Structure formats: structure tokens, C-alpha cells
């Protein structure tokens, strides 16, 4: 990102464009779904079920993958039906997904009930957990890290750090395992998007456990501890999906300097965090820092009012 790097006066900023990964406007879930949907097909399933927020990118990409493969798709979405659908929800409907509204249970608490109902109707179901973050989903990101490492070697670039949004943990677990597979020294910095849920293990422990399950599954020798997981939790603001100045400014700066659209919930927050960290001189001016764009732009449309207002003010 030459223009942005010049504008900020260093370091060298690069971008990995998973927003261009296909499956109905792209995103990081394409990498996870490559493995998960292959497993669904291998198990002769005819219906996939997954869960997320009403504006879930994971759900929209799962709906697209299911449509492309001729499977039915059931989505357990948090909240209740809005008056008008837009953003990812509209796309879910266009892609033919069946929506099950689950109130404040946006993280897959309703999946088992839906599975039971579909099974009782004779369907062979495949349940994908919240965010697609299980071993197979994380494997997609291990492969992604190996892919990026090969691209960097080919281009003769030595990356110092990779910054990305971390929410259900599959991306970060996969990246850390992929880093071992690629024998890379790059620093991985996840920016947390959600706050801890009461009663859950720490997010670092959840990612560690997933990365270790993956390492075991693919016969890697490396194992990880929570100390290996680098996460910055200082940018969760007013909570998941609540857009503030940090996200608005980040979305606008990226759009107007590089012509690239971030999303308001994940990449806007993670890139806003990176901008703040750059301002605090957390990276050397000669370092190469990669921002992993994990997609999500369709959600821009469900935040139209607040985003348009910030453009008018600027
Ligand atoms: C656009 C976007 N970026 C990043 C993430 C975070 O990925 P993960 O859930 O694997 O931590 C998500 C998850 O839904 C997402 O939709």
C-alpha cells in the first residue's frame, strides 16, 4: 500500500486481500469453507447449518458455498427479523439460506435444536460451528499462511509483522500453525473484536487449544501455549458491532487512500487499531507490516447512516 505508507511516513504497509477470495463478495471464510465443505461432501451431507450475528460474513459465505454445491443452508442468526433486510442478511436470503432467528443466542447456542429438527425430517446435516472455527476451518488458515509465505519469498520481501482481526479464533489458530509449517519468523498480531464472554476460557486458551488440535491432526511437532498467542484487546470499544470513530476513520482512510473497502465491524476495527499503533511508534519505520484484509464489506450497507455522516463531516 504505497500511497498509505507514504502518507503515514512509514513503515512499509502491505495488504493480503482475502476480500477478493470469492464466495459472494469474498472474505476469510472462503479458506475455512474450502476444508469444511469438502468434509460435508465427503460425509454425503445435504444440509449445512451454521450460526452468527445477523450481519455475519461467515454465514453469508457459507450460504454461497452451499448454493454453489447444491446443498441447503440453515443459518441460526442472532436477533430478530428486521423490517428490511440489507447487507449480509439480504445476501443470505438471495443465496437461498433458511434463516432461524435466535434472539440473543448469536454464537451457535441454537444449532443443536435446528440439527435435531432437520435430522428428524430425514436430512443428513453438517454442523459448522460459530465462525467456522474448528480444526478443519483453522487448517484453511494454516494453508493461507503457507501461501502468503511463498508469495513473500517469491517477491523477495521479508515481512516483520502481520496484523489481522481475531474474533472466533480460527484465523489466528491457523496462522500460528501455518507460521510453524512455513518456518517463518514473522510476528502475528491479532486485534480482538469482541470482549470476553463470562464463564468462557480466556480467548488465548481457546486459540491455543485449536492450534494444538490442528498441530496434532497434521502430525506437526510444534505445540503452543497461551503465551504464544499475541492479541491486543485495547480496541473493542463499546463492544461487538458497535462502530465508533476508530472504525469510521479507518474505513474512510483506506477507501480514500487505496480505493479498498474495509468493513465496519472487523477489518475497520483491526485497521483502526493498526493506525493507532503506528501513531504510537509500535513498529519500526523500515519494517514491513502486512494487514490481512479478512473481508466483510457487505456489512458497510447496514451501517450506511453512521458511515455517510462521517464522510459528510470530514
Ligand atoms: C470480516 C471478518 N474478519 C475477521 C473475522 C475473524 O475471524 P475469526 O473468527 O477466524 O477470528 C471475521 C469473523 O467472522 C470476519 O467476518
| Among 200, 289, 283, 293, CA closest to 251 | 293
- Is the CB of residue 300 less than 8 Å from the CB of residue 55? no
| Percentage of residues in the chain having pLDDT higher than 70 | 100
Using pLDDT thresholds of 50, 70 and 90, give the confidence band for residue 311: confident
Pocket test for ligand 1, best of 16, 35, 50, 171 (most atoms within 8 A of CB): 171
Would you state the pLDDT for residue 138? 98
Cα of 120 vs centre of ligand 1, distance in Å, is 32
Please state the atom number of ligand 1 nearest to the C-alpha of residue 141: 10
Would you state the pLDDT for residue 70? 98
Tens digits of residue pLDDT in 46-74: 999 999 999 999 999 999 999 999 999 99
- Is the CB of residue 136 less than 8 Å from the CB of residue 32? yes
Using pLDDT thresholds of 50, 70 and 90, give the confidence band for residue 267: very high
Cα of 121 vs centre of ligand 1, distance in Å, is 32
Cα of 42 vs centre of ligand 1, distance in Å, is 25
Of the listed 5, 56, 168, 180, which one is catalytic? 56
Cα of 59 vs centre of ligand 1, distance in Å, is 11
Q: What are the helix and strand counts (H, E) for the chain?
A: 11, 9
- Is the CB of residue 110 less than 8 Å from the CB of residue 76? yes
Answer yes or no: 310 catalytic: no
Cα of 132 vs centre of ligand 1, distance in Å, is 9
Pocket test for ligand 1, best of 165, 176, 190, 197 (most atoms within 8 A of CB): 165
Question: Looking at residue 97, what DSSP letter applies?
Answer: P
Neighbours of 27 (CB within 10 A): 30
Tens digits of residue pLDDT in 143-172: 999 999 999 999 999 999 999 999 999 999
* First-to-final CA distance of the chain: 22
Measuring from atom 9 of ligand 1, which residue has the nearest CA?
Answer: 168
Find the helix or strand (DSSP H, E) in which 65 lies.
helix 57-69
Tens digits of residue pLDDT in 250-260: 999 999 999 99
72-77 and 98-101: which strand pairing?
Answer: parallel
Please state the atom number of ligand 1 nearest to the C-alpha of residue 167: 11
Q: Which residues line ligand 1 (CB under 6 A)?
A: 27-28, 57-58, 131, 133, 165-172, 263, 266-267, 294-296
Tens digits of residue pLDDT in 238-251: 999 999 999 999 99
Residue 246 CB partners (closer than 8 Å, separation 6+): 235, 237, 268, 269, 272, 273, 276
Pocket test for ligand 1, best of 29, 54, 241, 294 (most atoms within 8 A of CB): 294
Amino acid at each position: 500500500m504505497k500511497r498509505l505508507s507514504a502518507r503515514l511516513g512509514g513503515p512499509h504497509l502491505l495488504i493480503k486481500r482475502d476480500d477478493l477470495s470469492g464466495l459472494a463478495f469474498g472474505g476469510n471464510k472462503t479458506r475455512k469453507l474450502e476444508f469444511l465443505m469438502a468434509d460435508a461432501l465427503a460425509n454425503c451431507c445435504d444440509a449445512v447449518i451454521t450460526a452468527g450475528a445477523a450481519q455475519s460474513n461467515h454465514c453469508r459465505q457459507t450460504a454461497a458455498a452451499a448454493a454453489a454445491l447444491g446443498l441447503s443452508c440453515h443459518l441460526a442468526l442472532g436477533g430478530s427479523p428486521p423490517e428490511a433486510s440489507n447487507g449480509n442478511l439480504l445476501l443470505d436470503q438471495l443465496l437461498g439460506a433458511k434463516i432461524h432467528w435466535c434472539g440473543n443466542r448469536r454464537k451457535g447456542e441454537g444449532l443443536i435444536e435446528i440439527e435435531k429438527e432437520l435430522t428428524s425430517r430425514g436430512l443428513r446435516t453438517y454442523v459448522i460451528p460459530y465462525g467456522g472455527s474448528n480444526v478443519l476451518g483453522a487448517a484453511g488458515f494454516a494453508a493461507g499462511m503457507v501461501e502468503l509465505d511463498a508469495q513473500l519469498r517469491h517477491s523477495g520481501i521479508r515481512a516483520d509483522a502481520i496484523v489481522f482481526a481475531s474474533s472466533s479464533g480460527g484465523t489466528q489458530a491457523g496462522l500460528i500453525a501455518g507460521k510453524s509449517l512455513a518456518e517463518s519468523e514473522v510476528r502475528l498480531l491479532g486485534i480482538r473484536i469482541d470482549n470476553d464472554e463470562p464463564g468462557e476460557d480466556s480467548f488465548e486458551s481457546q486459540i491455543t487449544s485449536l492450534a494444538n488440535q490442528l498441530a496434532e491432526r497434521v502430525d506437526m511437532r510444534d505445540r503452543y501455549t497461551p503465551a504464544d498467542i499475541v492479541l491486543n484487546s485495547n480496541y473493542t470499544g463499546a463492544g461487538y458491532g458497535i462502530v465508533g470513530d476508530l472504525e469510521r476513520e479507518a474505513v474512510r482512510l483506506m477507501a480514500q487512500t487505496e480505493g479498498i473497502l474495509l468493513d465496519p465491524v472487523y477489518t475497520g476495527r483491526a485497521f483502526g487499531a493498526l493506525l493507532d499503533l503506528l501513531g504510537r511508534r509500535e513498529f519500526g519505520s523500515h519494517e514491513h507490516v502486512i494487514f490481512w484484509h479478512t473481508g466483510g464489506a457487505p456489512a458497510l450497507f447496514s451501517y450506511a447512516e453512521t458511515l455517510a455522516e462521517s464522510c459528510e463531516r470530514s
